[in-house]
Amino acid sequence: MLERLRASLLQQPPDVTGHDDYGFDPAQRPEGFGAVKASVLLPILLREEPMLLFTRRTENLAQHSGQVSFPGGRHEAHDLSPVETALRETFEETGIAPGFVTVAGYLDRYLTGTGFDIQPVVGHLAEGFALAPDPHEVAEIFEVPLAFLLEPANRRRESREIAGRQRSFYAFTYKEHEIWGATAAIIVNLAQRLNAISES
């Protein structure tokens, strides 16, 4: 599985964004949009059934409160790379130390409507890590089978009014968890790359 991941992923961070929150509605894309650099980690546990780890944000956060996301956050001046940002933020949010993560590669950058230019980093998460979620940011940490997320039948298109505009996006439902928006779009990008390798 690790070899399949590496074969399907970018091995260098891309120079340009590959998709964004306006992919379904390009006419709504704002002009001259300046975005904050950020990185997220897609932590994959390569068990007998591979799993992908997620966080659910606390309800008291200013942005995306209560939503399911990948661990990660904005780039800071001392971060030397997107990987460093993703690993630092993952440790701060979940307690998972960088030494447990083996980076497999990168997905396409994603531009959000809230002003973040996200670089997704895909990593193999070794067993033995300890979870210590930051109670101010993380309400829950949970896992979803990777096979469930790679199956196109398990994703759907939805739309709702966001900031006064009707927006379309991908969404998944796994048990009690609703995964949508940028997080779902990043999963779809991962699925497209992995499924392309399977079909080739």
Q: pLDDT tens digits for 65-81? A: 568 999 999 999 999 99
Q: 85-127 pLDDT, tens per residue?
A: 999 999 999 999 999 999 999 999 998 877 889 999 999 999 9
Residue 18 reports pLDDT greater than 90: no
- Exposed, middle or buried, 185 (CB in 10 Å: 0-12/13-18/19+)? buried
What is the C-alpha to C-alpha distance for residues 102 and 86, in angstroms, rounded to an integer? 12
Which domains, from first to last, does the chain contain?
A: 2-18+35-150 (3.90.79.10)
Largest Cα–Cα distance of the chain, in whole Å? 47
Q: Which residue's entry shows tokens 């997320």?
A: 149
Residue 21 reports pLDDT greater than 60: yes
What is the C-alpha to C-alpha distance for residues 49 and 147, in angstroms, rounded to an integer? 8
Among the ranges 31-35, 178-182, 196-200, which has the highest mean pLDDT value?
Answer: 178-182
Residue 24 reports pLDDT greater than 70: no
- Tokens matching residue 65: 């409160």
Contact indicator for 167, 114 with CB cutoff of 8 Å: no
pLDDT at 12: 95
CB-based contacts of 15, cutoff 8 Å, min separation 6: none
pLDDT at 194: 92
Of the candidates 63, 143, 29, the residue with the CA atom closest to the CA atom of residue 96:
143
pTM for this model (two decimals): 0.90
What average pLDDT does range 175-184 have in this prediction?
A: 94
**Cα-based angle 144, 100, 188 (whole degrees, multiple of 5):** 35
Residue 82 reports pLDDT greater than 60: yes
